[in-house]
Homo-oligomer: A and B are copies of this chain.
């Protein structure tokens, strides 16, 4: 008799195996056989649950975006309501441990690059970009003129992504505290324009 309710478990297993494999080998060398092997399952299972490899990659990137969203939401919930608190929470969420660990961040980089040539991934990535910008913009607009808020949002978004990118590509350990400090400093300098 077939086991029932395996679907969510299998999907989770396969997505985690994909992140791990992509981190270790890159997207080009992440064959379905290796991903399935990493999950301790057979190759056929992937088409069973995700249609094809592209579907698995898509689901994996979507899951990572959801995790990032959750990390930010969690920080914001815990923070105070003032604009500065909320902005700091967004920064903190983006540098959350779940986001900047080696495995995740290298997978992120790979998916970003892939999104340049895969419309479906590009759509996901763009939603994410826009959300970060619009979240920042919203908060800055509470205390800055809209024009300044937009610039500040763009600058802080770039700062976050840039710190993350350089941290990921660096051979050294990601200096999270330093990165956060730099982002906060920028954030505060933008808020002081208001004062």
Q: Is the interface of A mostly helix, strand, loop or mixed?
A: helix
A154 CB, min distance to chain B CBs, angstroms:
6
CA distance A60 to B161 in the complex (A): 25
Residue in B109, B110, B166, B168 whose beta carbon sits within 8 Å of that of A157 in the complex:
B166
A71 CB, min distance to chain B CBs, angstroms:
19
Q: Tell whether A158 pairs with B159 under 8 Å between CB atoms, given A114-B26, A129-B166.
A: yes
CA distance A69 to B195 in the complex (A): 40
A64 CB, min distance to chain B CBs, angstroms:
15
Please determine whether B162 and A158 come into contact, CB atoms closer than 8 angstroms. Answer: yes
CA distance A113 to B29 in the complex (A): 13
- A182 an interface residue at 8 Å Cβ cutoff? yes
A contacts, CB < 8 Å to B: 25-29, 106, 109-110, 112-118, 122, 125-126, 129, 151, 154-155, 157-163, 165-166, 168-171, 178-179, 181-182, 185-186, 189
